[in-house]
């Protein structure tokens, strides 16, 4: 597949949880290479979209990766096809050590990725024997990102709000790591910090009330105050600039 | 002194049996969130399989016959557990009530089938001479079967700890106990781990079935049910999902039952165990070694 072609294609993705329709038919494409942002106000269905792509929630519609349909596969098979996931709450295994968390994510070729992981997050090497549950939020985020990066067969990473709740210093490090990660894989990033999104993201997909309301260049959205206010909210625009 | 030693070793032996049944229950609940009421059925069927395997080798060495019985019991327990997981539990994931009902139904059906096939009267098991004899320690004549059961439980405990701490599947099980969905999201087939855990639980229960026959000297269809109840109490006291907790609780329960049933009155030990369960649930809902329920 050439750079710029659609690597991931989501068509009419619908997710209902109980009586609530969370996604009402989401469709978008993610180009191969770089970072595509999935933006929107709180509660519009960004996390559910990522979980729906992976199959962590019951869904209908179509999700294809390089033309291969994913919705018929179990979650672990979707991941084995090359879809990595970094969840919003990091979901590190708190009772396991850092080293064990990383070992779980190992696949063929991971030995080469350890160099990248330890270059980005050297403290993970130092804290290998420490239980992940005792790490700070920022360090747990590093473990979560490292697990996704270790799988060299991942063709796209779904990363959900990696800077949420982190100090500005750690946000900068995570943003740098994402930028570096984007040089080896495609990323679909949910990010509420618009400054980070503006810096990292190339294309954006904006959700509102469970549907796509905008797709295009990130600058066209964030640099247009009226558009940004309409889709992302006033406070978000204020904090992002 | 001799009475105390006898009660101590017998209590430890009983605790060892409880642990063998409880370890599987705990692993299965920890990873799969399945309350497996069929664990007692694995114990019973394996006990009979071991009995008939030994009976099928007349004229051979008693030790060979007994070892063949142990092997047959473990294989039967493991195979029964795998079939249960694949045929009955797997179609009912995400339906916990259905899983409870199907394992309860399997337990009842197994009990009825075994009673129908072999009768409800206890059957005497034949043991090697050494196992039928006693060893005197501090004046207490202790049946040698107690040492065998305790040794077997210790080996199983060490084996399970090795499996959990030192193998990749053990790592997957420990991670799955914490967050099953995230294990899948790392590209790991949790389903395989489910089957493996069921097989381990069934094999341990199968071993307990044969060792229980040696401990009591007989097999009968209903012992699996009473063993299951005790094992559930052990698992809850120890902490659901914690192997170490199960081992500790099994020893506590076994000793409490033996000492109070002897020094207070018959039945007081069983009552005390239920009381201990209530106290643990009130003070530490997650068990002695375990996390509080979410």
Q: Please answer yes or no on whether A93 and B174 come within 8 Å at the CB atom.
A: yes
The DSSP output letter for B91 is G
The answer as to whether B211 is a domain residue is: yes
Residue B80: CB atoms within 10 A of its CB come to 26
Range list of H helices, chain A: 46-54, 75-80, 98-104, 110-120, 122-126, 137-150, 168-181, 194-200, 218-222, 225-232, 234-240
The answer as to whether B252 is a domain residue is: no
The answer as to whether B279 is a domain residue is: no
The answer as to whether B71 is a domain residue is: yes
Per CB-CB distance under 8 Å, the chain B contacts of A86 are: none
The answer as to whether B87 is a domain residue is: yes
What chain B residue is nearest to A151 in terms of C-alpha separation? Answer: B186
* pLDDT tens-digit readout, A30-81: 999 999 999 999 889 999 999 999 999 999 999 999 999 999 999 999 999 9
Lowest mean pLDDT among A62-66, B146-150, B262-266: B262-266
**DSSP assignment of B107-144:** HHHHHHHHHHHH-SS-EEPP--HHHHSEEEETTEEEEH
Q: How many angstroms separate the CA atoms of A22 and A108, rounded?
A: 36
pLDDT at residue A231 greater than cutoff 90: no
Does B279 contact A at CB distance below 8 Å?
Answer: no
pLDDT at residue B285 greater than cutoff 90: no
Confidence category of residue A241, pLDDT binned at 50, 70, 90: very low
Q: How many angstroms separate the CA atoms of B99 and A149, rounded?
A: 37
What pLDDT is attached to residue A238? 47
Number of domains in chain B: 1
A49, β-bridge pairs: none
What pLDDT is attached to residue A235? 52
Cα of B192 to nearest chain A Cα, Å: 11
Instruction: Kindly compute the dihedral angle of the four CA atoms of residues B275, B257, B201, A98, in this order, to the nearest 10 degrees.
Output: 60
The SS3 of residue B181 is: helix
* pLDDT tens-digit readout, B243-260: 999 999 999 999 999 999
> In chain B, pLDDT over 70 holds for what percent of residues?
98
pLDDT at residue A236 greater than cutoff 80: no
| Structural domain boundaries, residue B196 | 22-222
What chain B residue is nearest to A132 in terms of C-alpha separation? Answer: B175
Give the tokens for residue A145: 């990102």
Q: What average pLDDT is seen over chain A?
A: 90
Does A96 contact B at CB distance below 8 Å?
Answer: yes
Q: How far is CA A184 from CA A142, A228, B134, B281, in A?
A: 17, 30, 69, 51
Domains identified in chain A and CATH numbers? 6-82+155-240 (3.40.50.300), 89-154 (no CATH)
Instruction: Determine the average pLDDT of the residues in B130-152.
Output: 95
pTM, two decimals, is 0.84
What chain B residue is nearest to A88 in terms of C-alpha separation? Answer: B182
The answer as to whether B120 is a domain residue is: yes
* pLDDT tens-digit readout, B170-197: 999 999 888 989 999 999 998 899 899 9
The answer as to whether B265 is a domain residue is: no
The answer as to whether B149 is a domain residue is: yes
B111, β-bridge pairs: none
What pLDDT is attached to residue A178? 96
* pLDDT tens-digit readout, A130-143: 999 999 999 999 99
The SS3 of residue A133 is: helix
pLDDT at residue A82 greater than cutoff 60: yes
* pLDDT tens-digit readout, A186-203: 999 999 888 899 999 999
Q: Is B68 exposed, middle or buried (0-12, 13-18, 19+ CB in 10 A)?
A: middle
Q: Please answer yes or no on whether A75 and B184 come within 8 Å at the CB atom.
A: yes
Does A47 contact B at CB distance below 8 Å?
Answer: no
Enter the ipTM. 0.89
Q: How far is CA A87 from CA A57, B35, B170, B199, in A?
A: 13, 29, 23, 32
Cα of B292 to nearest chain A Cα, Å: 14
Q: Please answer yes or no on whether B181 and A151 come within 8 Å at the CB atom.
A: no
Q: Which of B268, A45, A221, B80 is nearest to A53 (CA)?
A: A45
């Amino acid at each position: 597949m050439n750079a710029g072609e659609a690597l991931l294609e989501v068509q009419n993705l619908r997710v209902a949880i109980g009586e609530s329709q969370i996604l009402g038919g989401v469709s978008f494409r993610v180009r191969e290479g770089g970072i595509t942002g999935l933006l929107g106000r709180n509660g519009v269905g960004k996390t559910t979209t990522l979980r729906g792509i992976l199959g962590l929630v019951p869904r209908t519609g179509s999700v294809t990766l390089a033309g291969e349909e994913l919705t018929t596969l179990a979650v672990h098979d979707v991941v084995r096809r090359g879809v990595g996931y970094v969840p919003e709450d990091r979901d590190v295994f708190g009772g396991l050590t850092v080293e064990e968390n990383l070992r779980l994510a190992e696949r063929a070729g991971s030995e080469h990725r350890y160099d990248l992981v330890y270059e980005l997050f050297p403290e993970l090497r130092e804290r290998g024997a420490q239980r992940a549950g005792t790490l700070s939020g920022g360090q747990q985020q590093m473990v979560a990102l490292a697990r996704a990066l270790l799988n060299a067969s991942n063709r796209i990473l779904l990363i959900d709000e990696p800077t949420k709740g982190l100090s500005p210093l750690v946000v900068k490090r995570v943003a740098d790591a994402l930028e570096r990660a984007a040089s080896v894989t495609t990323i679909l990033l949910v990010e509420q910090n618009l400054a980070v999104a503006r810096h990292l993201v190339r294309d954006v997909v904006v959700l509102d009330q469970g549907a796509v309301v905008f797709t295009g260049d990130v600058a066209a959205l964030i640099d247009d105050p009226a558009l940004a206010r309409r889709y992302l909210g006033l406070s978000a625009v204020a904090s992002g600039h | 002194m001799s009475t105390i030693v006898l009660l101590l070793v017998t209590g430890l032996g009983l605790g060892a049996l409880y642990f063998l049944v409880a370890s599987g229950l705990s692993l299965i609940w920890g990873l799969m969130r399945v309350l497996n009421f069929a664990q007692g059925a694995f114990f019973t069927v394996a006990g009979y399989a071991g009995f008939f395997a030994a009976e099928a080798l007349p004229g051979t060495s008693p030790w060979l016959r007994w070892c063949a019985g142990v092997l047959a019991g473990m294989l039967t327990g493991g195979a029964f557990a795998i079939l249960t997981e694949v045929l009955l539990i797997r179609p009912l994931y995400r339906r916990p009530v259905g899983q409870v009902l199907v394992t309860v139904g399997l337990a009842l059906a197994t009990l009825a089938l075994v009673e129908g096939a072999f009768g409800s009267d206890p059957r005497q098991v034949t043991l090697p001479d050494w196992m039928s004899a006693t060893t005197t320690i501090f004046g207490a004549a202790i049946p040698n079967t107690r040492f065998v059961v305790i040794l077997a439980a210790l080996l199983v405990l060490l084996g399970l700890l090795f499996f959990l701490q030192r193998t990749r599947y053990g790592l997957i099980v420990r991670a799955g106990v914490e967050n099953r969905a995230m294990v899948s999201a790392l590209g790991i087939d949790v389903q395989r781990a489910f089957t493996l855990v069921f097989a381990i639980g069934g094999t341990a229960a199968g071993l307990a079935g044969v060792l229980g026959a040696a401990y009591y000297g007989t097999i009968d269809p209903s012992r699996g049910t009473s063993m299951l109840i005790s094992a559930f109490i052990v698992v809850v006291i120890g902490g659901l999902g914690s192997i170490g907790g199960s081992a500790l609780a099994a020893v506590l329960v076994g000793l409490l039952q033996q000492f109070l049933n002897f020094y207070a009155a018959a039945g007081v030990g069983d009552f005390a165990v239920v009381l201990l369960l209530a106290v643990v649930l009130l003070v530490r809902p997650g068990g002695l070694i375990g996390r509080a329920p979410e």
